[in-house]
Amino acid sequence: MTSLQEYATYREIKSQPEAWAQALVEVARIKSMPKTEEYEQVIFIGCGSTYYLSLAAAALYQELTGRAARAVPAGELLLNTQASVGWIGRETSPKGDNPPGRDNIPPHELLVAISRSGTTTETVKAVEKFKEEKRGEVVVISNYDEALSRLADVNIVISKGQEESVAQTRSFASMYVAVTAFCIRMAGRWDLMETVNALPKVGERLIGKYESFAKEIGEDLDFDRFYFLGSATRYGLSCEVNLKMKEMTLTHSEPFHFLEFRHGPMSMVNQNAVVVGMLSDVNRVHEAKVLSEMEALGGTVTSLGESEADVQFESGIPESVRGVLYLPVLQLMAFYRSLAKGLNPDRPTNLTAVVKLDF
């Protein structure tokens, strides 16, 4: 019988708090932080998992700073720039009709490029284009010091997030902790930086306490569909854990904002469905009502949150910056389901760890 430790995915999920700790250290080491007020907006880019990370990061940046940010797939920034970020036509107007205070000043953006490998073709090419057009500065967050890092004005490498497996688990979480700390520093919220230092210890406790819970749901093959609900910063995270379920288990899985789930998707809920809710504190009443309605339709409901949930963080960390805590238990759920279906979680069907294209 194969030991769980023989699977790289299992080792990487279980050991990820160590990578979270390194991520916090690496961000704390940055001596010259970009200044929020210098940029019209911050653009977060990635591919696959790191695009979902970008969705969560952009929402977090806006929440903490009150300034504009957006998430864009790197391939879209590269190939469909105008549709993605509207750069074309935003240069200084020859008629002199720029908005007040913008005369003769081209748009200035901060690009945050996120890539596990640091070699993903679309991301590297998108950053090269950004720099060629002198749009602004580039921050790179990665697990490897590769081609992308050499294009960075600010380079954050979390080597302890490196992985043998194809599906991102430890790497994603480590980079999300890094982007959380980065947004905190951009916002000048030193009070929050103090609290996030507790994340690794809380993560270790959650993994130990709720692994059996994840295993029980993951191994139940009577379930044939999973829905992950999360709003605000948690929507990007729901997209990511949905992807883990798809990649590792070849199971029908979809992410939704909480209230959006009522608008059609709930028609798919039955006794074979699992509806996972990433609960917030602020909107808990509304989110819990959605879960109750799905349970009444016959679905199996699972919730994660700071308290009064199936998976309780009990972290004492402010809601906006504890998002990484939603990940490990759901990653383990996908891992155990993969094994139950006779699949190899380390090598998902049709996938490779790095996507390289010929441009």
Q: How far apart are CA 110 and CA 128, in angstroms?
A: 14
175 and 216 assigned to the same domain: no
206 and 180 assigned to the same domain: no
180 and 281 assigned to the same domain: no
Q: In this structure, is residue 148 part of a structural domain?
A: yes
CA angle 195, 243, 24 (to 5 degrees): 25
93 pLDDT above the threshold of 70: no
**According to the model, what pLDDT value does residue 95 have?**
44
Average pLDDT (187-191) is: 94
120 pLDDT above the threshold of 50: yes
State which residues form the domain around 186: 4-196
154 and 269 assigned to the same domain: no
Q: Which of 165, 196, 227 is the last residue of a domain?
A: 196
Q: Which of 196, 212, 244 is the last residue of a domain?
A: 196
DSSP 122-173: HHHHHHHHHHHTT-EEEEEEESS-STTGGG-SEEEE-GGG--SSSS-SHHHH
322 pLDDT above the threshold of 50: yes
What's the pLDDT band for 2 if we cut at 50, 70, 90?
A: confident
93 and 59 assigned to the same domain: yes
203 and 167 assigned to the same domain: no
What share of the chain has pLDDT > 90, as a percent? 88
Four-point Cα dihedral 308, 313, 319, 323, nearest 10: -130
Q: Which of 164, 196, 228 is the last residue of a domain?
A: 196
**According to the model, what pLDDT value does residue 358 have?**
72
174 and 219 assigned to the same domain: no
121 and 59 assigned to the same domain: yes
Q: Which amino acid is present at 211?
A: E
301 pLDDT above the threshold of 90: yes
Q: What is the pLDDT of residues 7-36, one digit of tens each?
A: 999 999 999 999 999 999 999 999 999 999
Classify 344 as helix, strand or coil.
Answer: coil
91 pLDDT above the threshold of 70: no
48 and 189 assigned to the same domain: yes
**297 CB neighbour count, 10 Å cutoff:** 16
Number of domains making up the chain: 2
DSSP state of 34: P
CATH number of residue 246's parent domain: 3.40.50.10490
Classify 71 as helix, strand or coil.
Answer: strand
Judged on CB neighbours under 10 Å (0-12, 13-18, 19+), 359 is exposed
172 and 30 assigned to the same domain: yes
Q: Which amino acid is present at 286?
A: H
42 pLDDT above the threshold of 60: yes
203 and 267 assigned to the same domain: yes
What tokens does 68 get? 């504009």
Average pLDDT (134-144) is: 96
Q: Are 217 and 304 in contact (CB under 8 A)?
A: no
What's the pLDDT band for 354 if we cut at 50, 70, 90?
A: low
What tokens does 298 get? 């016959």
Helices and strands (H, E) in the chain, number of each type: 11, 10
Least confident residue range of 37-51, 89-103, 148-162, 345-359: 89-103
Q: In this structure, is residue 354 part of a structural domain?
A: no
23 and 39 assigned to the same domain: yes
What's the pLDDT band for 353 if we cut at 50, 70, 90?
A: low
Q: How far apart are CA 204 and CA 236, in angstroms?
A: 23
Handedness of CA 90, 80, 144, 199 (dihedral sign): positive
Q: What is the pLDDT of residues 195-235, one digit of tens each?
A: 999 999 999 999 999 999 999 999 999 999 999 999 999 99
pTM as predicted: 0.93
Q: In this structure, is residue 96 part of a structural domain?
A: yes
Q: What is the pLDDT of residues 254-265, one digit of tens each?
A: 999 999 999 999
Q: In this structure, is residue 358 part of a structural domain?
A: no
DSSP 256-320: E-TGGGGTTGGGG-STTEEEEEE--STTHHHHHHHHHHHHHTT-EEEEEESSSSSEE------GG
Contacts of 130 (CB under 8 A, 6+ apart): 77, 109, 111, 136, 138
